[in-house]
Amino acid sequence: MKLTLKVWRQQNSQDKGRFESYQVSDVSTDMSFLELFDVLNERLINEGKDPIAFDHDCREGICGACSMYINGRAHGPWHETTTCQLHMRAYNDGDTIVVEPWRAAAFPVIKDLAVDRSAFDRIIQAGGYISVNTGNAVDANAIPIDKVDADAAFAAAACIGCGACVAACKNSSAMLFTSAKISQLALLPQGRPEHKQRAEDMVAQMDKEGFGSCTNTGACEAECPKGISITNIARLNREFITAGFTSK
C-alpha cells in the first residue's frame, strides 16, 4: 500500500506547530500503526531529519502510552483498540491519514505527538489509593464481596490511563478516567473507609488540572480501549454527591 501521512510536528510546548505530509510506500497490511511510524522514522533519520516523537512502550495494548488521534478518532477507527494494536489492514491503498496529538489544556504537547499526561498521576496522587497498609493476603472469602461488585471493580481497574477519554471528549473531561480510579476502590470494602475524602480530593484535583466538565455525550465510552463504561461516571457522581452532602 501507498499512504499519505499528515503528521502534527511541534518542536516543544512553546512552538506553534504545523502539519507535515509524508508519503510512505510498501506499507504491509500486517504492520501495526506504530510500526508504520518506525519505518517512517528510520527513513527520516537516514535522511538526516528529525524523527517524529511519539509515546509507546508495551506495544500490546496494556500500558496506555501510545496516544495518537488518527483521522478524528482516538487510537484510530477500531473499537476498544489502542494505537499499537491497530493494524494497517484498517486502511486502503492511497488513503490519507491525519495524525494529531491528544488535544487538551491539561495535556500539553511535549514534542510532536507526545503529550504530558502527568495530570492523571496527580489525580491519582490526590486520593486514588488506600492510605493504610492492608496487610498480607488474607484467606479467600475472609472478607465477603459480592461477585457483581468484584467484577465491576475489576472492570474499572482495567483502565490503563491512556487519556483517550479526554482526547475524545469535546470538553476534554477526565471524568471517565477519574470515575474508573474511584470505582475500583469504592466498590471494595478496603476502599470504603476513605471514600468520601477520596471523591472530594480527586474531583478537586481533576478540576484544578483544567479538564472540562462532563456533558454526558458518551464519546469517552465509545473510544475507551478498555471498554470502561459511563456507569462509572454515575458512580463517581453518587460518591461525590454523598461526600459533599455528608462529609464533615
Partner 1 sequence: MKWSQFFNTSIGKKLLVGATGLFLCSFVIVHLAGNFSLLKEDGGEAFNTYAAFMGHNGLIQFIAWGLKIVILIHAVIAIQLTIRNRAARPVKYAVRPGNKTSSWYSRQMAVMGSVLFIFIVIHLSQFWWAMHYGDIGKVSYGAVTEVGNLYEVVWFAFKESWIVALYVLGMVALSFHLIHGFKSACQTFGLNHPKYNGLISFIGVWFFGILIPLGFAVIPVVIYIKQI
Binding residue for ligand SF4, selected from 7, 84, 176, 199, defined by CB under 6 A: 176
The set of residues, in sequence order, having a beta carbon less than 8 Å from that of 225 and lying 6+ positions away, is: 61, 64, 75, 80, 81, 82, 85, 160, 162, 164
Give the binding site for partner 1 (CB under 8 A): 17, 19, 69, 71-73, 98, 100, 103-106, 168, 170-173, 200, 203-204, 206-207, 210-219, 222-223, 230-231, 233-238, 240-241, 243-244, 247
Question: Is residue 215 part of the contact set for ligand HEM (CB under 6 A)?
Answer: yes
β-pairing verdict for 69-70 and 114-115: unpaired
Rounded Cα distance between 245 and 248, Å, is 9
How many residues bind ligand HEM (CB under 6 A)? The answer is 3
CA-derived radius of gyration, the chain: 20
Q: How far is the CB of 228 from ligand HEM (least distance, A)?
A: 20
Rounded Cα distance between 126 and 34, Å, is 33
154 binds, among partner 1, ligand HEM, ligand FES, none (CB under 5 to 8 A by kind): none
Question: Is residue 163 part of the contact set for ligand SF4 (CB under 6 A)?
Answer: yes
Residue whose CB is less far from partner 1, 31 or 119: 119
188 binds, among partner 1, ligand SF4, ligand FES, none (CB under 5 to 8 A by kind): none
Q: Which of 112, 32, 74 is nearest to 228 (CA)?
A: 74
Q: How far is the CB of 99 from ligand FES (least distance, A)?
A: 14
How many distinct helices (H) and strands (E) make up the chain?
Answer: 8, 7
Residue whose CB is less far from ligand FES, 85 or 205: 85
Q: How far is the CB of 92 from ligand FES (least distance, A)?
A: 23
In the three-class reduction of DSSP (H, G, I as helix; E, B as strand; rest coil), residue 31 is classed as coil
- Cell 512553546: give the residue: 14
Length of the chain: 248
Q: Rounded to 5 degrees, what are φ and ψ at 94?
A: 90, -5
Give the binding site for ligand FES (CB under 6 A): 56-59, 61-66, 82-84
200 binds, among ligand SF4, partner 1, ligand HEM, none (CB under 5 to 8 A by kind): partner 1
Residue whose CB is less far from ligand FES, 81 or 217: 81
Question: Is residue 230 part of the contact set for ligand SF4 (CB under 6 A)?
Answer: no
Burial class (CB in 10 A: 0-12, 13-18, 19+), 241: exposed
66 binds, among ligand HEM, partner 1, ligand FES, none (CB under 5 to 8 A by kind): ligand FES
* Half-sphere CA count of 86, side-chain side, radius 13 A: 23
Q: How far is the CB of 223 from ligand SF4 (least distance, A)?
A: 6
Per CB under 6 A, residues contacting ligand SF4 are 64, 159-165, 176-177, 180, 224-226, 228
